[in-house]
Amino acid sequence: MSSQEPRWLHIGIDDDQAIKLLEELAKDAKLRSKLEENPRRVLFRRFRIDFPGAPDKLKLPPPETIAAYAHELRKDQPFGHDFTLAHGIVLMWVAHGNGSPPPPPPPDDDDESASAD
């Protein structure tokens, strides 16, 4: 049985830096293009994310989707929930070529109580 290198990840940024980098990624077409062409190098040099398992190339979500993530992370309850994960995880998710739209906030509690009457 051959052993594989563990799939590790090191993110050297704080929450505010992650949000700023998401905003930059949403606005800067040249940066998006560089990231799509050479993910591991750009992740490490620009985003301070070391990810040996990065793909050779990737396709980023649209800038509007990336901006929506940054917008959500600025809220007191991102994505409608208590959000205890480091925001760099979201940056990593988006910068790795993922990025389905953020989930909607949960239904308003007032609406549920009104329908129960």
Amino acid residing at 77? Q
Q: What secondary structure, in 3-state letters, does 81-105 show? A: CCCCCCHHHHHHHHHCCCCCCCCCC
How far, in Å, CA of 51 to CA of 113, rounded?
Answer: 46
Q: What is the pLDDT of residues 1-52, one digit of tens each?
A: 445 656 666 778 888 888 898 999 999 999 999 999 998 899 888 888 888 8
**What pLDDT does residue 115 have?**
47
Q: What is the pTM of this model?
A: 0.66
**What pLDDT does residue 13 have?**
82
Query: Residue 50: which H helix or E strand, with range?
Result: strand 49-50
Q: What is the pLDDT of residues 67-114, one digit of tens each?
A: 988 888 888 777 766 766 666 667 766 766 665 555 556 666 554 444
